[in-house]
Amino acid sequence: MQNIDIHLKPSWQFIFFILLTLICNVGIIFYLTISFWIKVLLLCVVLGYGVRVLWDRGYLKGLNSIRNLYYKDDSWELHSQSGVATATLCGESTMTTFISVLRFQDVITKKKYSCVIFRDSLESGLYRRLLVQLLMVKRE
């Protein structure tokens, strides 16, 4: 299999999905029949968590957010702000034409990592190439 060099960028589809989920949660909280102060507390918790998910996963600014993937010599290198991990692709990875959820397991620590890749987080044509390469890896 060929070497793969992937540089992820923030996906506007993923950011839209996170914001839509956050807005729906805020709407649900407003319609709850509970006291005002509990609504305020719930809003603070939901908005705080939503902003963190948006920052960490949507904009790829989190400490453990995978930003670069390299495939060579039958192993993957996962690059994040916290460092580099050498990993193997797990069988529970899911790939579709719209989104891929790749699950990796660290070779040394056996820790599992997830990488959500939307089509618009890669340069044009690279997502399709990645899908083809991943299908080849799964068949081996």
Alpha-carbon distance of 131 to 97, in angstroms, equals 8
State the pTM of this model.
Answer: 0.86
- Tell me the C-alpha to C-alpha distance, in Å, between residue 7 and each of 23, 35, 57, 60, 67: 30, 47, 15, 11, 6
* Rounded Cα distance, 78 and 65, in Å: 10
Give the start-to-end residue ranges of the domains of the chain: 4-9+64-139, 12-58
Give the separation between CA 50 and CA 105, rounded to whole angstroms.
Answer: 27
Give the pLDDT band of residue 3 (cuts 50, 70, 90): confident
- Asked if the model's pLDDT at residue 4 lies above 90, the reply is no
CB 100 within 8 A of CB 130: yes
The stretch 121-139 carries a mean pLDDT of 84
pLDDT value at residue 1? 60
pLDDT digits (tens, 9 = 90+) for 131-140: 888 888 766 6
Give residue 139's pLDDT: 61
The whole-number average pLDDT for the span 50-55 is 96
**First-last CA distance in the chain:** 10
DSSP string, 88-113: EE-TT-EE-SSEEEEEEEETTT--EE
pLDDT at 123: 87
Structure confidence at residue 2 (pLDDT): 78
pLDDT at 116 (0 to 100): 94
pLDDT value of position 22: 97
